[in-house]
């Protein structure tokens, strides 16, 4: 977060700078990286101390507050409390918007009895392969040469679609189709 600290009618002391940093840590803890910058203007007029804070957040949100006090600590505490309430309101709107978006994505065929609907399996096409005719022995040689767990091929003898699987013990399993 970028911080711009300005003093009107006096110079900013290092103690006041650390006090402002300490007070703004509460806002950083609440809003996280949503805060882009903060501008703090400290004004001294005779016996009155005034703090004016403007916080710029992502999404063009601007939180502003002004408070007076007899000490810098009381003025900054009041102003940060006001900004914190505004930040909680904005953050609540963000989470409510997220909830609304996810609730509209429900599937219309969800069961009524409270059981979750089974999720559709995700299918990812890895490669496209031409099924070349080969014998079972040639398919076993090709599968052992590659590290693939299975090989789909067209059996040259029966002209049926077959799958050759690599088993855990090093042997192969053959799945034959009816056609």
Q: How far, in Å, CA of 43 to CA of 49, rounded?
A: 6
Answer yes or no: do 81 and 148 share one domain.
no
Structural domain harbouring 150: 133-176
In this structure, the answer to whether residues 151 and 92 fall within a common structural domain is no
143 DSSP 8-state letter: H
Give the number of residues written for the chain.
179
Q: Please indicate, yes or no, whether residues 152 and 90 belong to a single structural domain of this protein.
A: no
Residue 83 and residue 8 share a domain? yes
**What distance in Å separates the CA atoms of residue 29 and residue 88, rounded to the nearest whole number?**
12
**C-alpha–C-alpha distance, residues 110 and 122, integer Å:** 18
* Amino acid 6: pLDDT: 94
In which band, very low, low, confident or very high, does the pLDDT at 113 lie, cut at 50, 70 and 90? Answer: low
CA distances from 45 to 13, 20, 41, 50 (A): 17, 19, 13, 8
Q: What CATH code is carried by the domain that includes residue 48? A: 3.30.160.100
pLDDT recorded at residue 124 = 77
Q: What is the pLDDT of residue 115?
A: 63
CB 153 within 8 A of CB 137: no
- H runs (alpha helix) in 13-118: 14-31, 72-103
Give the pLDDT confidence score for residue 47 in this predicted structure.
87
- Average the pLDDT over 44-72 and give the result: 92
Tell whether 89 and 156 lie within a shared domain: no
pTM exceeds cut of 0.85: no
Answer yes or no: is 37 within a domain.
Answer: yes
Q: How many domains does the chain have?
A: 2
Domain boundary among 96, 113, 147: 96
Query: Mean pLDDT, the chain, as a whole number?
Result: 85
Looking at residue 38, what is its pLDDT?
A: 94
pLDDT at 27 over 60: yes
126: in domain = no
pLDDT confidence band for 64 (50 / 70 / 90): very high
Tell whether 128 is covered by a domain. no
Q: Residues 6, 67: one domain?
A: yes
């Amino acid at each position: 977060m970028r911080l711009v600290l300005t003093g009107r009618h006096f110079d900013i002391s290092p103690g006041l700078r650390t006090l402002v940093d300490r007070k703004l840590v509460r806002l950083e803890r609440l809003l996280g990286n949503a805060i882009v910058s903060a501008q703090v203007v400290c004004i001294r007029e005779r016996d009155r101390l005034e703090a004016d804070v403007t916080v710029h957040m992502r999404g063009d949100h601007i939180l502003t507050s002004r408070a007076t006090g007899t000490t810098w600590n009381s003025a900054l505490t009041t102003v940060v409390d006001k900004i914190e309430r505004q930040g909680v309101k904005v953050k609540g709107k963000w989470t409510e918007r997220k909830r609304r978006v996810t609730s509209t994505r429900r599937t219309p065929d969800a069961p009524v009895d409270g059981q979750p609907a089974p999720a559709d399996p995700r299918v990812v096409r890895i490669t496209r392969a031409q099924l070349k005719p080969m014998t079972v022995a040639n398919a076993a040689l090709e599968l052992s040469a590659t590290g693939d767990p299975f090989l789909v091929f067209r059996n040259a003898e029966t002209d049926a679609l077959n799958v050759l699987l690599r088993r855990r013990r090093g042997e192969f399993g053959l799945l034959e189709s009816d056609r």
